[in-house]
Amino acid sequence: MDWHMQKLKHVVDSGDFNRAAVDVVFQEALKMEKIRPGSPESRVLDGYIMSTLFYEPSTRTRLSFESAMSRLGGTVLSTESAGEYSSAAKGETLEDTVRTVEGYADCIVIRHFQEGSAKRAAAVASVPILNAGDGPGQHPTQALLDLYTIQREIGRLENIKVGMVGDLANGRTVRSLCMCLSMYPGVEVTFVAPDVVRMRDDVKDYLTQRGVKWTEVSDLREVAGHVDVLYQTRIQRERFTDMDSYNAARGKYIIDKELMKILQPHAVVMHPLPRVDEITTDVDADPRAAYFRQARNGLYVRMALLKLCLADKMGPDDLKK
């Protein structure tokens, strides 16, 4: 059968994945780490085209997806500032854009400012939609690379203690990561956030329903000493309508060299990046600062996802069987 006729799948929601699916992605990602330019493995997506539609700024997600596609022999149609420089600026709907671009590309990577936008795109698309972040909603490929990083750094995903810090109300990475972590027994999550950006109830309820122990505390030092992973996030200025609330939130929780003295020797600091001032730059030289290794892992995980979605025609639903 022509591959265009096959049922294609999407990566839009972290809840779509189960442990078996994550294991398959990780097995592929490990192989991706070893691919060398010019090898047959580096041509596995030869002839495929990926389109990126980014309505919000990005460095890591867009460039790692584009690098991933290039490193597997595919090509890229790239639109950054899509709200300004695509026909969205003339009033075109997301649905119409997707139905047009699917005629030019074999998969579409979308970052959009509205929560639920990736699901809307997937509802009309005949090619795989990969959600690169939908407003304050979900960032499933980031969650997968975060899990991959924890596995690589700590050596396991079960029985780990994770402290999540910063803008937990608007942080789509922490929302998606919570959903993924809930698949593993013995995970404990502690939230540390300024009052105006505490973790939302939908994620807390999700964790409770899945038997994940979670708590909220206000003292970062209390958490730092007993976690395996300290996951810091930026206060997302662009999501605030009220600058007084933003100013109340920013600068409250900072990871610096003093805090690193409390962190356990085996523990790691992660951050989806970009950072502003919530991790001081003198922490970067500490071997427990894993955030640039985390960003690098995004390349391997996205290479794996592209191969699974395009060459192997697999999506989360296939992997569940």
What stretch of H or E contains 140?
A: helix 140-154
Catalytic residue among 9, 10, 62, 111: 111
User: How far, in Å, CA of 15 to CA of 227, rounded?
Assistant: 24
User: Between residues 57 and 251, which has the closer beta carbon with respect to ligand CP?
Assistant: 57
User: How far, in Å, CA of 180 to CA of 177, rounded?
Assistant: 5
Is position 208 an interface residue for ligand CP (rule: CB under 6 A)? no
Closest approach, Cβ 142 to ligand CP, in A, equals 5
Strand 49-54 relative to strand 75-79: parallel, antiparallel, unpaired?
parallel
> Per CB under 6 A, which of residues 115..144 are in contact with ligand CP?
133, 142
User: Between residues 74 and 133, which has the closer beta carbon with respect to ligand CP?
Assistant: 133
Query: 198 to each of 134, 190, 244, 315, how far by Cα in Å?
Result: 19, 12, 16, 32
Among 8, 13, 52, 60, binds ligand CP (CB under 6 A): 60
Closest approach, Cβ 203 to ligand CP, in A, equals 18
In this structure, are residues 227 and 159 in contact, taking their beta carbons and an 8 Å threshold?
Answer: no
Is position 59 an interface residue for ligand CP (rule: CB under 6 A)? yes
Any catalytic annotation for residue 266?
no
Catalytic residue among 60, 120, 234, 252: 60
Closest approach, Cβ 160 to ligand CP, in A, equals 21
Q: How many binding residues for ligand CP (CB under 6 A)? A: 9
User: How far, in Å, CA of 311 to CA of 3, rounded?
Assistant: 9
User: Between residues 231 and 319, which has the closer beta carbon with respect to ligand CP?
Assistant: 231
Residue listed under structure tokens 């999540």: 164
Closest approach, Cβ 117 to ligand CP, in A, equals 15
Catalytic residue among 9, 139, 275, 302: 139
> Per CB under 6 A, which of residues 29..58 are in contact with ligand CP?
58
Is position 61 an interface residue for ligand CP (rule: CB under 6 A)? yes
Dihedrals phi, psi of 270, to nearest 5 degrees: -120, 160
Helices within the chain (DSSP H only): 19-33, 60-71, 82-85, 94-101, 117-124, 140-154, 172-181, 201-209, 220-224, 243-249, 257-260, 291-306, 316-320
- Binding characters for ligand CP, 238-277, by CB under 6 A (x = yes): ----------------------------------xxx---
DSSP conformational letter for 7: -
Binding site for ligand CP (CB under 6 A): 58-61, 133, 142, 272-274
Residues with active-site annotation: 60-61, 90, 111, 139
